[in-house]
Structure formats: C-alpha cells, structure tokens
Chain A
C-alpha cells in the first residue's frame, strides 16, 4: 500500500483512465469508457448529489404547501378553529412572540457558551499538554453525544434545585436590570435555566470549530509575538485571536443555529408564555417556536397543524439564514488561507 502518499487534494481524480500518453488511441477509448455501467454509475452518483439539493428544496416546498391553509386563513378563522390560538390575533402577531422567545433563548445561550467555548478551544490548542490535547477534545465532544431528551430530563429534574437559589440571588441583587427583574420563579422553569442547558448543548460545536481555527494559526506569527517578549496570553492576543476571529464568529453562528432549533430541552424545562418579555427569571413569559410545535402538534386539528407548520417555516428560514451566513464565512476563510 502506498503509505507515504499525502491525502489527495480536493481536486477530483483524473477525468478518465486514458491519459494523453497515447496520442492515437485515447479518443475512442475515452468514449468507450463512458458507456454502459460506467455512465450509469456516474449518473447515479451525480443524481445522489442533486437529490440532496432536491431534498432541501422539498423541505421548503412541503412546508409551504402544508402551511398554506394557515397562511391564507385570517386571524379570526384561526382563532375560532384552533383551540390554543389567541383570541383576536393574526398569524403574524402569533408568531412574533415565538420568534422573540426563540431568538432570546438562543442569544442568551450563545452569550453563556461562547466565552467558555473559546476558553476550552484555547486550552486545548495552546495550554494543554500536547499528548492530552486530542483526548480532551474527545471528552468535550462527548457532550454532543448526549441526546437532547436526556439534557431535558437533567435540566428539569436535577438542575432547578441547584439554580433556583442563584437565580433568586440574581433577582435580589441585580433586579433593577430588566433581564433579571424579580421575583425569580421558585420552580426554576425559566428562560435562564433553558439558556444554561442550551449553552451546554452548543458548547461542543463552538469548541470544535474554534479549536480547529486556533490550531491553524501560523507558527511564524506565534513566534514573532513570543520573540518580542510576549507572555503566552499576550501571544494569544496578538497572534492567535486576530487570526481566528472570523472562524470564531462562524463557530458561534453554527452554535446559534443549533440553539435556535433545539426542542426537547426547552419543551421539558420551560414554563411557557407568549409575551414579548425580557424577564428571564420569571416563569410563563416566553416560548420558542420549536418547543411550541412539539407541545401542541400531537393534539392539533388540521388547521392547527397547518399553523404550527407555518411557525416551523419561520424557524426553517431563520436557521437557514444563520447557517448559510456561518458557512459562507467559513468558506471564504478557506479560500483566504488557501491563497497564503
């Protein structure tokens, strides 16, 4: 086996078996080789690639198709036919608070997770002993292997007694700040608890992407900083972080995408409400799109299902935009570092 060969470059394998080495024969052979099974195989593979695009398009199309009845029905019809639809609301004013709650929960979790994830990523890339680094990375990845329903169970049965005293202390001391307005719910089923659990769940992806970026920092620049008499932290600040900034941003956006769509942890922990409320220590204030769908779907009538699918469409669009933004940044980075 060829063991010394480097991993193949992204470029595809040479187009055809018959190279330009034999000027006489190739033309006919080239045509020959793209016949029968060979061509069928190529088309099958290409078809599978195209199918993926088709699936993504189908997700959008079918969601629109099933959401159509709710999108076209007026608010009054929805209010009459759908038991949980608020009286006198329109579809837009129903989705509004859900979008708000989704964004708030995701933003809070991102706020909690990103600094810790960056710390872990730097720890693994620049502080931990070399031999331990990959093991430590694997241990962090284990957090991603725990199913979300288990996080939900943990966050609703184990976490509240631990966090409630902290939350009440927050409400008592920082209650003047709108986010921490008291009184803190004694059940702990509030948005901050949810955000905490979401933060744990998105930690691995942010860590993994940031770690990769930090590890790519050119040795040249790290040594330049050290040779100027920088301490390790100063080296990280002058060379590593500026280099990895865009990568960390896209990592955070990927984490945001995860947090936006997470269902079970929110469903099992949060005591829901449909308000535009920043009170993250009080129960019954906010709800997220995903959790709302999971909560109401099993009992919904056809128009109710349609309404929920319409909210799901909103979630789909939001996450799609966030993910496309993140991936575009990553892709641009790849081009950039490739040019160097």
Chain B
C-alpha cells in the first residue's frame, strides 16, 4: 500500500510527541462519574431480570417440591367423594374432568366466534365497524375474570332463575375471556398469509369464501392451532369466575348442563381454604394435619403441568408445521 502513500512530506513525519500525549489524554475516557453511572445502570438492568427470576424459580420450586408429595396415580384417578378430616385419601379426578369439560366447552364457544371475527377483520373488515371491533377486542382482553364470571351468572340467572350452578355457565364465563385472545392470535396468523396466494386463487375463479376456507385457513392452520392452544392455556387456570358460577363439589360430574362441577383451580383454592385439619391423638385412624395443603400443592402441580404442556405443544405445532406453509 505504500505506493498509494502520497508525497513524502506528508506521509513520513512522525507524530509530534506533545500532541500524541494530549490526544491520548482526550481518548482515555469519559470522566469516571459517567462511566460509573453507565456501569451501575448495566448492573441494574441485569439485576432487574434476575429479580424477576426469583419469584419464577421460587414458585416453580415450591410447587414441584410440595406437589410431588401426593402427586401419584391414586391422586389423579380418585375423587374426593367420602373423604373427610385428615384422611390419607382423596384425589383430583373429578376436578381434572371438570376442568377439561368446561374448558372444552369454552373452546367450542369461542373458537368459531373468534376465528370468524378474525376472518372478518382480515378479509372483509373496513370502516367504522372493523375499527370498533379491533379496539374493543383489545379492551375485552382487559375484562377482569371475576366480571366475566358475574356476567355469565347474570345471563343464566335471567334465563333459568337465580342460583343456577352448572358447568356450561363456567364455559360461557371462560369464553368471554378467551374470545379476544383467539381473535388476536388468529388475526395475526391470517395476516401472515401472503396476498399473492389469495390473488392466485381468485385468478383461478375460486369464489372468495372458498378461497378463505381452502387457501387462507389451510395455509395458516398450524398458527391458528397454536393460537387456540395458547388461549386455552390462558383460561384453564382461571379460578374466580368458576368459583362463582360452577361452585364446588366432591364427586364426579360429567354433565356440563346439570349441577355443580369441580375444576382444578377451584379445587386448589377449596383445599387451601379448608386449612389445617385438627387431629386428635387418641384415634387410631391415620390423620394428616396438613393434608389439605398437600392436596392443594399437588393439584397446583397438575394444573401447571397441564398449562405448560399446552404451551409446549402449541409452540411445537408451529415449529413442526410452519416451515411447510409459512416462512
């Protein structure tokens, strides 16, 4: 590269040592205060993240440790029927059944509505109605779950009279919470479908509705499945609306339209609120004072496992199916 160097007068002269020293001083760094502040903030940012991990790890740890004590096949396959006091018995079969049925009910109600509303927003929506729907879907995500429960209760109370308790009321309450989540995620997925695909279908003379069903929905089915599973995962842990609409019961009820049902989150709360069992030492029956807390932890573990499973499967679905369709 020396050939490129210019006239010797410019290139060869060594830098003046005095200037070198002054430049070196200038470049040594910002004043210590600023550097200290920058480092402090960096540490703070890291510790903010660390701070958030404390409750996460603590919750996960305690749930697993306490939950493992009673988490076994017996616990998963028996109900609480005939269980009282500190008996070393009882399980959550009825609660799992109730949770699955009620959540399924909620999904059956909210997935068609949510998906169709998302189709409306993406494929047809324009003008004030679409804007209103978009805005209020967002607002709806902020409805407190207990208010959703009150709504479902009030709705059925108007139809069937007050004091009605059945699984479907809980499903309705959960679907109020679930619909906006389904709309949001489905909308996102439908928007990912390239317009070229739609146009290609139109060019073949396929009517619009068939294009939506055959092309748009088929392309985005993996994403929609994921979205629905994540929405289910979100509502499956809801307690308050079920507490006031479905109530509690100790035995198995497989009918959504008749009588109270137990659900996992409510079971956790119920066991917790029953508190310690007063055991008298004279009886020879086995009595465990904190059996209720043990059951609550084990049910909480089950609930978290279900939620995590839904999350995991939901994400895997996208990962497995997405490459073939999108991206």
Interface on A for B, CB 8 Å cutoff? 1-3, 5-8, 10, 12-14, 16-18, 33, 37-38, 40-42, 44-53, 55-56, 58-59, 62-63, 65-66, 115-116, 118-120, 122-124, 126-128, 136, 139-140, 142-143, 145-154, 156-158, 200, 203, 207, 229, 231-234, 236, 254, 257-258, 260-264, 267-268, 290, 293-294, 297-298, 302, 305, 308-309, 312, 315-316, 319-320, 322-324, 326-327, 330-331
Contact = CB atoms under 8 A, between A and B. Distances in A.
A8 B195 contact: yes
A53 B198 CA distance: 28
What DSSP secondary structure best describes chain A's contact surface? helix
B136 interface: yes
B24 interface: no
B105 to A, nearest CB: 16
Interface in B195-252: 195-199, 202-203, 205-212, 233-234, 236-240, 243-244, 247
B320 interface: no
Contacts of B269: 149, 152, 264, 267-268
18 contacts: A44-B116, A46-B124, A59-B147, A63-B154, A65-B154, A122-B45, A127-B42, A147-B304, A154-B58, A231-B37, A264-B239, A264-B265, A309-B153, A319-B144, A319-B147, A320-B143, A326-B142, A327-B139
Contacts of B238: 147-148
Q: How large is the interface on B (under 10, 10 to 19, 20 to 34, 35 or more residues)?
A: 35 or more
Given A7-B191, A53-B136, A123-B49, 11 more contacts: A16-B202, A37-B210, A42-B124, A51-B113, A127-B45, A147-B236, A254-B142, A263-B239, A264-B239, A309-B153, A312-B146
Contact of B123 (A3, A13, A56, A312): A13
Contacts of B171: none
B75 interface: no
What DSSP secondary structure best describes chain B's contact surface? helix
A270 B142 CA distance: 23
Contacts of B208: 16-17, 33, 38, 41-42
Contact of B59 (A53, A151, A312, A330): A151
B44 A49 contact: no
A34 B308 CA distance: 44
B157 A66 contact: yes
Given A154-B62, A262-B144, A294 B233 contact: no
A63 B152 CA distance: 9
Interface string B284-327: 00000000010011001001100110010000000000000111
Nearest to A1: B325
Given A150-B300, A315-B144, A232 B38 contact: yes
